[in-house]
DNA sequence: AGTTGATAGTTGCATTTGTAACCGTTTAGT
DNA sequence: ACTAAACGGTTACAAATGCAACTATCAACT
């Protein structure tokens, strides 16, 4: 008799599936509204949050690879949503900042995100949402598999 | 004063991040051991679980696009880990089944997955794991965004 | 029977992504 | 000062992915 593992009971699989379901739903919203990609949305989210950051810092804070950030930033710059400012001390660094247009979009994106999360919590139920929060916090506390 | 949304407090982002952290760690394990891709691992997992399935059923059960399944199945067939058997009634269907070699790998993969999950639960703590389970279940209960 | 529409599965093509290499700049060690 | 290593950022190339079109088959309806 075979020893089986139901995929439905396997945490990594369940996490991926839940994450896809939820984030794709949200991605559909900001893609529909602004035509943004996920790396772009994340970059805006970081810049809106911290005001100004280098590309590396965006990557660190949003868990994105340098190349993704680089491309997202280039695209957002092309839209006129952010500007680059060279660092006077270290000429490798570029300080990025949202433009007025970028901040305006950010404001709307925050609205979108808030109402999305409210709907989500309502739909799953407050206690389940609290449980999810607790579970995710524990995962976040785990040491990363391997730095690179 | 700007109205900000901390990305760290946004559920979709946290879900994606947790899911990446966990599933990439596991992926590294089966990739290291067998050189499998994620679609391949999932296809094996389904076939090992249900014994026999069509490509469409694998896709449905593992939430993968047809093309992913098609390519994964082709790769696994190339390895000699599964066989195709035409349906006698409906000649569009192909019943897929693991070979002896495939089942052997499956057995080892199940071991790998079990010990991975055990480690995971131990690392996050039993109650956090239970909370995560509860939260994920609630997400799984939500209606899918859009059928295709 | 014949046409239309659906379904199973594959493949071509464009887009996205990751890896590695690269350039310019800064830091550290000698 | 000088070399080597490290770092920020970009880009070239390869691999993975998704979409759409396609083939073959089946089902339904006339």
Task: Provide the domain count of chain B.
Answer: 1
Distances in Å between the Cα of B62 and the Cα atoms of A55, B59, B69, B128 are: 36, 5, 9, 25
Alpha-carbon dihedral sign for residues A85, A87, A91, A97:
negative
Question: How far, in Å, CA of B84 to CA of B52, rounded?
Answer: 10
Residue of B1, B6, B14 to mutate, testing the A interface (most A Cβ within 10 Å of its Cβ): B14
Q: What is the pLDDT of residues A113-147, one digit of tens each?
A: 999 999 999 999 999 999 999 999 999 998 765 43
- For residue B134, which residues of chain A lie inside 8 Å, CB to CB? 128, 131-132, 135
Residue of A8, A138, A140 to mutate, testing the B interface (most B Cβ within 10 Å of its Cβ): A138
Residue B24 within any structural domain of the chain? no
What residues contact residue B146 under an 8 Å CB cut-off, 6+ apart?
A28
Q: Which of B45, B109, B128 sits opposite A134 (nearest CB)?
A: B128
Distance from CA of B42 to the nearest CA of A (A): 8
Q: What is the pLDDT of residues A33-52, one digit of tens each?
A: 999 999 999 999 999 999 99
pLDDT of residue A131: 98
Q: What is the pLDDT of residues A27-37, one digit of tens each?
A: 999 999 999 99
- For residue B124, which residues of chain A lie inside 8 Å, CB to CB? 135, 138-139, 141-142
Residue A42 within any structural domain of the chain? yes
Residue A2 within any structural domain of the chain? no
Question: How far, in Å, CA of B134 to CA of B3, rounded?
Answer: 32
pLDDT of residue A2: 64
pLDDT of residue B2: 63
Contact A5 B113 (CB under 8 A): yes
What percent of chain A stands above pLDDT 90? Answer: 93
Contact B110 A26 (CB under 8 A): no
Residue B42 CA to nucleotide C9 C1', Å?
Answer: 18
Residue A25 within any structural domain of the chain? yes
Residue A72 CA to nucleotide D13 C1', Å?
Answer: 19
Mean pLDDT (chain A) is 94
In this predicted structure, the answer to whether residue A66 has a pLDDT above a threshold of 80 is: yes
The stretches in chain B having pLDDT less than 50 are 146-148
Residue B117 within any structural domain of the chain? yes
Residue B78 CA to nucleotide C7 C1', Å?
Answer: 26
Residue B123 within any structural domain of the chain? yes
Residue B97 within any structural domain of the chain? yes
Question: How far, in Å, CA of B61 to CA of B54, rounded?
Answer: 11
DSSP string, B12-62: HHHHHHHHHHHHHHHHHHHHHHH---HHHHHHHHHHHHHSEE-HHHHHHHH
Residue A70 within any structural domain of the chain? yes
Q: Which of A17, A128, A129 sits opposite B63 (nearest CB)?
A: A17
- Top pLDDT among A2 and A62 is at A62
First-last CA distance in chain A:
42
Question: How far, in Å, CA of A20 to CA of B18, rounded?
Answer: 12
Q: What is the pLDDT of residues A97-107, one digit of tens each?
A: 999 999 999 99
pLDDT of residue B143: 76
pLDDT of residue B91: 92
Domain that holds residue B123: 30-141
Environment class of residue B137 by beta-carbon count within 10 Å: exposed (0-12), middle (13-18) or buried (19+)?
A: middle
Contact B20 A46 (CB under 8 A): no
Is residue A51 within 8 A of residue A44, CB to CB? The reply is no
CATH code (residue A137): 1.10.10.10
Distance from CA of A50 to the nearest CA of B (A): 9
Neighbours of A121 (CB within 10 A): 17
Contact A139 B22 (CB under 8 A): yes
């Amino acid at each position: 008799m075979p020893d089986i593992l139901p995929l439905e009971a396997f945490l990594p699989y369940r996490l991926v599936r839940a994450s896809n379901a939820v984030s794709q739903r949200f991605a559909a919203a900001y893609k529909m509204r602004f035509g943004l990609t996920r790396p772009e949305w994340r970059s805006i989210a970081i810049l809106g949050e911290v005001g100004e950051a280098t590309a590396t810092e965006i990557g660190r804070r949003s868990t994105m690879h340098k190349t993704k950030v680089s491309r997202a930033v280039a695209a957002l710059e092309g839209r006129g949503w952010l500007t680059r400012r060279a660092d006077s001390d270290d000429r490798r660094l570029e300080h990025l900042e949202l433009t007025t247009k970028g901040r305006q979009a950010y404001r709307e994106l925050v609205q979108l995100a808030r109402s999305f999360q409210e709907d989500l919590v309502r739909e799953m139920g407050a206690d389940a949402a609290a449980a999810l929060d607790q579970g995710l916090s524990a995962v976040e506390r785990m040491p990363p598999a391997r730095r690179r």
